[in-house]
Amino acid sequence: MTQNRAKEQGMNRRAMVGGMMGWAIALGVGLGSCQRSPVAELSEPQILLVSAAASLTDVLQDVGMLYEDEHPGVQVQFNFAASGALQQQIESGAPVDIFLSAANKQMDALESQGLVATETRQVIVTNQLVLVAAMGAPEVLDLADLADGAIAKIAAGEPRSVPAGDYADQALKAAGLFERLQPKLVYANSVRQVLQFVEAGNAQFGLVYATDAKLSDQVTVVQAIPADLHAPILYPGAVLQRSDRPELARDFLQFLTSDTAQQAFQGYGFITP
């Protein structure tokens, strides 16, 4: 299954999540075993609602279709946004069965409020932070070169709500560069928007996940940010306590760690735990 096909079918899938996205707008918040699972045969159609970090958009559309192929009668519908925005939606009562975050911070917050089924929580995949450059950007070798006067704008996620932005913030501070680079930082509401800023030339450089950079032919990777400059980039997933279909939600979450799903994640550049 190609990425282009995934994107085309993803457009159709996104059309089905109008209700959930309407909820978000109202809140103002920005191959392993082929053995059938216990929920494989359903007496009536079931819709599974998954809120997931924006950086998982492309791969989860593929994985969702793989799951639906193995589970006739199941529709997996996704709501993609920054993890912080999804956290706020869930806290405000959004109808979600599974939450997939790009950091522990947002999952920790929901768990502390008793909103997730703690026993279902697990790390699905990991990732890497990279510095990317727009076409025609000044030549740099690493983060330190961003202090050069020829560089005016560096895109990063808003650190309070976008995990990629939080990791970038940690890295710049650990490298002793934050104060010098802060005036150049342009903040985005998701890691995908960071990528868009750089692709469009609205920022000369950006800090995104390696998986996002892999999807674009309009940016070049300058440097993989050393992992010791920021917290580990983990994607935890958990079933929500309020899920109306907890058995199905647990089954899909378990499917994400199967060989079938993990191979799909690897194909998009994610690192399996």
Shared-domain flag, residues 155 and 242: no
Shared-domain flag, residues 90 and 134: no
User: Of 89, 67, 32, which is closest to residue 253 (Cα–Cα)?
Assistant: 67
Shared-domain flag, residues 119 and 154: no
Average confidence score pLDDT of the chain: 88
Shared-domain flag, residues 148 and 107: no
Cα(21)–Cα(97) distance, integer angstroms = 15
Q: Is 3 helix (H, G, I), strand (E, B) or coil?
A: helix
In a domain, 178, yes or no: yes
In a domain, 272, yes or no: no
Q: CA dihedral defined by 194, 200, 201, 207, rounded to 10 degrees?
A: 20
Domain extent at residue 176: 129-229
Q: CA dihedral defined by 94, 95, 98, 104, rounded to 10 degrees?
A: 10
In a domain, 73, yes or no: yes
Shared-domain flag, residues 44 and 153: no
In a domain, 84, yes or no: yes
Shared-domain flag, residues 258 and 214: no
Q: How many domains does the chain have?
A: 2
Shared-domain flag, residues 134 and 223: yes
Output the pLDDT for position 45: 81
> What is the distance between the terminal CA atoms of the chain, rounded to a whole angstrom?
23
In a domain, 74, yes or no: yes
In a domain, 112, yes or no: yes
Task: Give the CATH number for residue 67.
Answer: 3.40.190.10
In a domain, 273, yes or no: no
Shared-domain flag, residues 140 and 116: no
In a domain, 100, yes or no: yes
String of DSSP letters for 63-81: HHHHHHHHSTTEEEEEEEE
Query: How many other CB atoms sit within 10 Å of the CB of residue 89?
Result: 22
Shared-domain flag, residues 138 and 241: no
Tens digits of residue pLDDT in 78-136: 999 999 999 999 999 999 999 999 999 999 999 999 999 999 999 999 999 999 999 99
Output the pLDDT for position 15: 39
Averaged pLDDT, groups of 10, the chain, 273 residues long: 42 41 41 42 80 97 97 96 97 97 97 98 98 95 94 97 97 97 97 97 97 96 97 98 96 97 97 90
Cα(37)–Cα(35) distance, integer angstroms = 6
Shared-domain flag, residues 13 and 122: yes
Block residue for tokens 């559309």:
61
Output the pLDDT for position 29: 41
Shared-domain flag, residues 122 and 7: yes
Give the phi and the psi of residue 198 in degrees, each rounded to 5.
Answer: -70, -45
Shared-domain flag, residues 176 and 64: no
